[in-house]
């Protein structure tokens, strides 16, 4: 026999279950653009070897990034690409 609770079936289904808790912090999964190697920067979506190397070269020539938005100054980092990686990068 199925018990009715508040007009609906008392059983839980996948559609009304809460999503699992996430135990990692956002900072733990972000890449520090002032410390990351080109290889680490390649892990960002849309950032291949050439753009990763340009980010490192820019940092070496002009110094540390003060804000993530400064990545837009790197040749090959478009608005669209920056929006895709913005939440994944931090300055330290």
Q: In whole angstroms, what separates CA 33 from the centre of its chain?
A: 12
Domain membership flag for residue 4: no
Does residue 16 sit within a domain?
no
Total domains present in the chain: 1
| Residue 32 belongs to a domain | yes
**Chain mean pLDDT for the chain:** 81
Q: How far is 80 from 45, CA to CA, in rounded Å? A: 11
pLDDT band (50, 70, 90) for residue 1: low
**What is the model's pLDDT at position 29?**
83
- Other Cβ atoms within 10 Å of 36 Cβ, number: 19
The CA distance from 10 to 55, in Å, is 55
Per-residue pLDDT at 3 exceeds 90? no
User: 35-53 pLDDT, tens per residue?
Assistant: 999 999 999 999 999 999 9
Is residue 91 within 8 A of residue 36, CB to CB? The reply is no
Cβ-based burial of 33 (10 A; exposed 0-12, middle 13-18, buried ≥19): buried
Instruction: Supply the range of the domain harboring residue 47.
Output: 25-90
């Amino acid at each position: 026999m199925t018990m009715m609770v508040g007009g609906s079936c008392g059983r839980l289904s996948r559609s009304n279950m809460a999503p699992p808790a996430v135990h990692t912090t956002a900072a733990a999964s972000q890449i520090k653009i002032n410390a990351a190697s080109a290889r680490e920067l390649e892990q960002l979506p849309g950032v291949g070897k050439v753009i990763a190397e340009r980010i490192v070269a820019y940092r070496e020539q002009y110094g540390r990034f003060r804000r993530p938005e400064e990545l837009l100054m790197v040749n090959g980092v478009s608005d669209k690409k920056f929006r895709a990686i913005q939440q994944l990068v931090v300055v330290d």
